[in-house]
Structure formats: structure tokens, C-alpha cells
């Protein structure tokens, strides 16, 4: 199932249009894709059909809704990135991300709360 959540960049941008506006009429989706992605009607319907077949979306009577939420795809992509780039080590990722950045006291407190919330035991 995990591999099924992988989207290429153009499919992800297309999906974001749906996630941000759902439920969305397919005619409106065509207009938005032309405006934001420069796609023709046929391209929009081809990609929609493909992602419906993969179980991401449903097009029922020209009303498009999601079956898989954006957060699920983001979580999958984040986990794969950390796995691939940092050997699955969240501390290594955070170290590289922070580099020479600093945190405000509020941000530090929010991160401490998150860590405590997810800590084992």
C-alpha cells in the first residue's frame, strides 16, 4: 500500500488543487488546471482518471472528492525522504535541517511538547 501513495510532482500539484477545494466539479477542475498548471482539458481528465484508478480520488457524477487525504501523502513522502536521505534517522534530519538556524523560545517549547507526546514509554 505504501508505494501506492507515491505521486510525481505534476500529479501532486494536481492533487493539491483538488484537496484545497473539494468537493469540486470536474468542469471547475478543468478550468483550475488550465489556469494553474497550463493543462488542456484532455490532460486534466487523463490525470484524473489515472488517479481515480489508483484510489486517490473519486469522480462521481462530475463531482471530484478525495479518498486519500493530503496528510497521508505528505507523511508517506516525509518518511521516504528521511529514510532515503538520512538512513531513517530523525535526529540526523533535524540536525541537517536546523544547520545554523535558531528557534524562538515558543518554537522550542512546541517541539519539546511534540517530542514528549510521541516518546515511547
Whether 104 is covered by a domain: the verdict is: no
Tell me how many domains the chain contains. Answer: 1
Write the CATH number for 47: 1.10.10.10
Q: What is the pLDDT of residues 55-95, one digit of tens each?
A: 999 999 999 999 999 999 999 999 999 999 999 998 899 88
What phi, psi does 35 have (nearest 5°)? -70, -45
Whether 86 is covered by a domain: the verdict is: no
- What would the mean pLDDT of 102-106 be, rounded to a whole number? 91
Whether 44 is covered by a domain: the verdict is: yes
Whether 107 is covered by a domain: the verdict is: no
Specify the pTM: 0.78
Whether 42 is covered by a domain: the verdict is: yes
Whether 112 is covered by a domain: the verdict is: no
Whether 32 is covered by a domain: the verdict is: yes
Strands laid side by side in the 63-66 sheet: 24-25, 63-66, 57-60
Whether 36 is covered by a domain: the verdict is: yes
Parent domain of 58: 2-70
Run of H or E including 35: helix 26-37
- The three state secondary structure string of 79-106 is HHHHHHHHCCCHHHHHHHHHCCCCCCHH
Q: Residue 33 burial (CB < 10 Å; 0-12/13-18/19+)?
A: buried
Q: What percentage of the chain carries pLDDT values higher than 70?
A: 97
Amino acid at each position: 500500500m505504501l508505494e501506492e501513495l507515491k505521486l510525481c510532482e505534476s500529479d501532486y500539484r494536481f492533487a493539491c488543487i483538488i484537496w484545497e477545494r473539494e468537493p469540486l466539479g470536474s468542469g471547475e477542475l478543468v478550468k483550475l488546471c488550465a489556469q494553474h498548471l497550463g493543462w488542456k482539458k484532455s490532460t486534466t481528465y487523463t490525470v484524473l482518471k489515472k488517479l481515480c484508478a489508483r484510489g486517490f480520488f473519486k469522480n462521481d457524477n462530475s463531482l471530484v472528492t478525495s479518498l486519500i487525504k493530503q496528510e497521508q501523502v505528505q507523511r508517506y513522502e516525509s518518511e521516504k525522504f528521511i529514510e532515503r536521505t538520512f538512513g531513517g534517522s530523525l535526529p540526523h534530519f533535524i540536525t541537517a535541517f536546523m544547520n545554523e538556524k535558531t528557534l524562538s523560545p515558543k518554537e522550542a517549547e512546541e517541539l519539546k511538547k511534540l517530542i514528549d507526546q510521541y516518546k515511547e514509554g
